[in-house]
Amino acid sequence: MTNEITLLGGMTLVTFLIRYPLLAMSDRIVLPARLIQALNYVPPAVLTAIIVPTVFIENNSLWLSPSNPRLVGAVAALSIGLWKRNLLLTILVGMGIFLLWQSLVA
Amino acid sequence: MTMASNSARRHEFWAGARQTIPLIVGAIPFGIIFGTLAQSSGLSFAGAMGMSAIVFAGASQFIALGLLGAGAPLGIIVLTTWVVNLRHLLYAVSLVPHVKHLSQTWKLPLGFWLTDENFMVAIQRYRQDDLSPYKHWFQLGSALAMYSNWQLSTLVGLTLGQSIPNAGAWGLDFAMVATFIGMTIPYLTNRPMVATVVVSGVVALLTQGLPHQLWLMVAAIAGILTGILTENSLKQTHD
């Protein structure tokens, strides 16, 4: 129990101390033009860095095969997303194809 | 406070919540699977609910479960949480120009509720050209929608999830991948953005050996630098 409180306290503290301080000081921060230019690239860079290993890595090795349901689901999501440009549809089709493929392969 | 400004605030708030609905659909399976796996990883009911309520960071909560189950020491779990959530620092920097005029009463909760999904929705609103003074209400609406849903999905996982046989093996966490793919696609409109995504993905694969998930920050920064360099070199060839 004590351990759990310490764990939650620690995780909360480090997370909040990432999210809040820059906002708190935002009226005193002047961002250089180059940094503002760089910020445009933040969302796609971070999201891709999270997505790609989750899709391609299984048990510490590369899984490049049509029997990888994550890969098939990701390709489906990407294709429908580029085609239809609809976020909800992208998520539903990606998830659906992933579950379908997983049940077929397994 | 006039009636018109009140209605403009309300309008922004609900637009923010509405705009977040697709991301909520993606977060539901992820929250449920977190709640389902929490107790078998050694977290109590209150501990799991508390984690969703006060840490409120899905990916790191999930990784914390894995580390708990593997018997990792507390310090390592907290350190890993810090590294995995460091990306929010990049989000906070991006928000600086848009929230600087707000009081701390606003900045504190907006900071607490800052997640991937909330940022992606809010930054699109902030970058629209209109001069609405209430765009932070849009961010608040999105944040509260995301937060309530996360609590609810965790609760569903903790209660009903136990009755799903072998729920952990279903791979419901893939919902996060599908959601993040959907959030990335709108950015793929020019060559620097495509270069960013390619380099970020390749570097993430090549640096998997780095300890404590540090590859995440390394890959993100490599992608960002690639984007800037590509943009600058394209500008030079046009000049």
pLDDT tens-digit series, residues B118-141: 999 999 999 999 999 999 999 999
**3-class DSSP string for B70-100:** CCCCHHHHHHHHHHHHCHHHHHHHHHHHHHC
pLDDT of residue B153: 96
Q: What span, in angstroms and rounded, lies between the C-alpha atoms of A25 and A23?
A: 5
pLDDT of residue B105: 97
Chain A environment of B216 (Cβ under 8 Å): 46, 49-50
Q: What one-letter code names the amino acid at B38?
A: A
Cross-chain CB nearest to B205 (options A56, A90, A91): A56
Interval A81-102: pLDDT, tens: 999 999 999 999 999 999 999 9
pLDDT of residue A105: 86
Of the residues B34, B181, B202, the best mutation for testing chain A's interface (the one with the most A CB atoms within 10 Å of its CB) is B181
Regions of chain A where pLDDT drops below 50: none
Beta strands at A61-62 and A57-58: parallel, antiparallel or unpaired: antiparallel
CB contact under 8 A, B215 and A53: yes
pLDDT-wise least confident of A26-30, A58-62, B161-165, B230-234: B161-165
pLDDT of residue A27: 95
User: Which of A:14-43 have CB within 8 Å of B?
Assistant: 14-16, 18-24, 26-27, 29, 31, 34-43
Nearest chain A alpha carbon to B65: A7
CB contact under 8 A, B112 and A20: yes
Residue with tokens 């399976």: B29
pLDDT of residue A2: 66
DSSP states of B107-164: HHHHHHT--HHHHHHHHHHHTSSS--TTHHHHHHHHHHHHHHHHHHHHHHHHHTGGGS
pLDDT of residue B3: 75
Cross-chain CB nearest to B100 (options A27, A54, A90): A27
Cross-chain CB nearest to A81 (options B55, B100, B185): B185
**pLDDT level of residue B1 (50, 70, 90 thresholds):** low
Both tokens of B1, joined, read 């406070």
Interface ipTM above 0.85:
yes
Both tokens of A78, joined, read 């990407």
Chain B environment of A95 (Cβ under 8 Å): 26, 29, 174-175, 178
Nearest chain A alpha carbon to B98: A26
Q: What one-letter code names the amino acid at B163?
A: S
CB contact under 8 A, B220 and A42: yes
Q: Using alpha carbons only, give the angle B35, B122, B220 rounded to the nearest 5 degrees.
A: 75
CB contact under 8 A, B182 and A82: no
Give Cα B181 to chain centroid, integer Å: 13
Of the candidates A19, A33, A38, which has an alpha carbon nearest to the alpha carbon of residue B222? A38
DSSP states of B181-224: HHHHGGGTTSHHHHHHHHHHHHHHHHTTTSGGGTHHHHHHHHHH
Is the model's pTM score more than 0.80?
A: yes
Q: What one-letter code names the amino acid at B140?
A: L
Of the residues A3, A8, A78, the best mutation for testing chain B's interface (the one with the most B CB atoms within 10 Å of its CB) is A8
Is the separation of the CB atoms in B171 and A98 below 8 Å? yes
CB contact under 8 A, B182 and A87: yes
3-state helix, strand, coil in chain A (%, to 5): 75, 5, 20
User: At residue A61, what are phi and psi to the nearest 5 degrees?
Assistant: -140, 160
Helix (H) or strand (E) holding A62: strand A61-62
Is the separation of the CB atoms in B181 and A52 below 8 Å? no
CB contact under 8 A, B193 and A41: yes
Both tokens of A9, joined, read 């306290």
